[in-house]
Structure 1
């Protein structure tokens, strides 16, 4: 039996949640779906446990994450879904992830929605998951482990979400390099969709960019930024729906 953490986590919020859950299961192997060099074909076994996490982008699973898993074969590996979101809503994300993985042979036995600091507008859900979140997520893991120990067969999960899925066309907040850019190329190397030129890292292909903010998070010179005006307008627009504290959920 193998335990796997599989996550798409450009700014590492989802990664932290998935690893927190996985720690209760024992030693695990990591698969970082943001890594441009990962093996795109993966085959699991019925004895394996997979904890698969993605952030919610506009109520949907990031298309790049789905593309990285399109050649996965689950072979009924027992799978825990984890969706993070920045205190607004996750809408169809859990349902879409469940249906995508079920079609590839994964047996989805539990699902979690968890709050993480908003990856673009950082003041929303700032500092989350906090200590209360962490205690709750650990308790979720224990409940899932109990289910695994007691059951050999699993009924299909009933998860929130609608079909057709909510339309998502991206956001207009695209990071650009400032004059502080040292052209070290780290952002180009680690961009999950190849939107930054390797030879000219100050250039960003806005058509490819998914606004994941990975380049902003990893830039050692803090030279990658988005428009402050657009950020302020987006923050004002989302303030009402994002300001009230939302809680983590377990579906089991």
Structure 2
């Protein structure tokens, strides 16, 4: 009887702590942009982003998905993570395998702070479509293993998050078909800030907001490796909130139960 009583007390205490933690999170995020909803995505055969594919994610008007490519980078990614955390915003980071391998602490932090971890090849060639099929597949698979090991300590046979974005959007029908056989979703984008080009944060902000206002919604591509994008991001998140945009976080359908709310 005593052991049963102790277990009941422990369960009650755990529940109370969980409720208190959720309430504290709600208080911390009050009045901030936040993440409006989690979007459960079935990755099987999925190709999204109207810049390259016929369809995109099931987004309502004024809903956006924030994505960041090419990291992690110790000089810029921690700053980007802090900016997102300050506004309770969750994004998707498509990491490069060799960078994940070099900075596993940052990969783990991306996950610990509630973001979605996607994949972006091992070496980020200019385009995987311009190298042989076998070399391209090897680079993709090596990236998967490096990312998984950095994030979780080991690489399994199935990806925890089967989301992939081609470097430079350089896909081919054969490589798309390969990812389809692996049950891995291919992410393109609906718009971007062109932040691979040198520009001031102010110019970049005006450019991406103009494109977003024209599109009305969509998957937005940024690079967390670009200092100008880090400098622009607080003003961009403020502009999203001021203009009534809502942030959506896609997660694989199998992971929706454990996604941050």
Q: Given the two structures, how large is their TM-score scaled by the length of structure 1?
A: 0.28
Tell me which protein shows more helix as a share of its residues.
Answer: 2
TM-score, normalised on structure 2? 0.27
Greater C-alpha Rg = 2
Bigger RCO (CA 8 Å, 6+ sep): 2
